Copies of this chain bind each other. A is one copy, B any other.
């Protein structure tokens, strides 16, 4: 089957990867927008402590984390050495003892159902600083061995590379959709029609405009995140745990002496691609509050991304009633890096008409308003 995937972020890259490996002919369109969420996203894979409680969302969130082991093993087996993933463990901390206890209760309940977590245990401040040296001195923690971090740039690039090796084509180009006799038609940036059997729109915050010519009012808008990247030259940060204060912000480290503090959650910004004074101040304040040992770290850059935020926390995955040849995946919001790889696998199944092995009813897109 010949399938176009619009968007090469985590979701689109995973869709293309799974399709290409299954032997389909894949063509990926990506516009290279500044503000792509995947390129900005600091990936923590640790769904089990979250306060949010929506059931159909959590089902995907937990399954997304579980799927990582298989995906990484498959990519490694295909010769990919740069997948950007490591299971370093997660530290859950909280300023407020009641928050801490509530997180422990959630972890107890959820890790029991998820053997890949390795359970969890309460550890002392000293032990916590062994896992994350710049941590504030008074903070005990809950340690989850199965928590991981992912560099979304590397992982999505690895999936795309594997897709290309399996025959997929990448195009840095704009794609425009049209509706013709009830079917979605695709034109490229040269205004040429591209004949495909199916079109998967995985364009995140930009999808609404891509879908507008089809008469769809796609309810996903951008939520801006500003994420600060620090460096600790000469320090081996490759085994540091991710740090999840039970608050809006979080910290994690990468192999190259890099520590990341994320992130603002700004609604109503539209596509205003900017690092702001207040945003940078907010992120640094939070980071230095929990990890004062980062005071002398180098600021490398601040990344800005637009998370695709739907009307609720529930993702959108599926076909649109009344339009042939169209599959949509979107609305993963702040959990996109955890859910994205699995969701791409599901979209691939939908596109080629196979059973995804997962009840996707709760995620069905709204039908076309006529």
Contact = CB atoms under 8 A, between A and B. Distances in A.
Interface stretch (A113-121, A141-149, A265-273): A265-273
A207 to B, nearest CB: 11
Residue from A206, A230, A299 with most neighbouring chain B CB atoms (10 Å)? A299
A198 to B, nearest CB: 20
Interface stretch (A59-67, A88-96, A287-295, A332-340): A287-295
A161 B233 CA distance: 8
A173 B270 contact: yes
Interface string A218-247: 010110000010100111101000000000
A284 interface: yes
Nearest to A218: B191
B299 A236 contact: no
Interface string A176-207: 11100000000011110000000000000110
A276 B257 contact: no
A365 B146 CA distance: 56
Contacts of A222: 189
Given A34-B34, A255-B82, A296-B278, A271 B174 contact: yes
Contact of A276 (B32, B208, B299): B299
Contacts of A33: 33
A294 B277 contact: yes
A213 interface: yes
A81 B221 contact: no
Contacts of A284: 277, 280-281, 284
B270 A171 contact: yes
B302 A302 contact: no
Contact of A32 (B234, B236, B273): B273
A213 B212 CA distance: 6
A244 to B, nearest CB: 19
Contacts of A205: 189
A285 interface: yes
A31 B281 CA distance: 25
Interface of A: 31-34, 79, 81-82, 157, 160-161, 164-165, 170-174, 176-178, 188-191, 205-206, 208-210, 212-213, 217, 219, 221-222, 228, 230, 233-236, 238, 255-257, 268, 270-278, 280-281, 284-285, 287-288, 294-299, 302
12 contacts: A161-B257, A174-B270, A174-B271, A189-B270, A189-B271, A190-B268, A190-B270, A191-B208, A191-B217, A212-B212, A276-B297, A280-B299
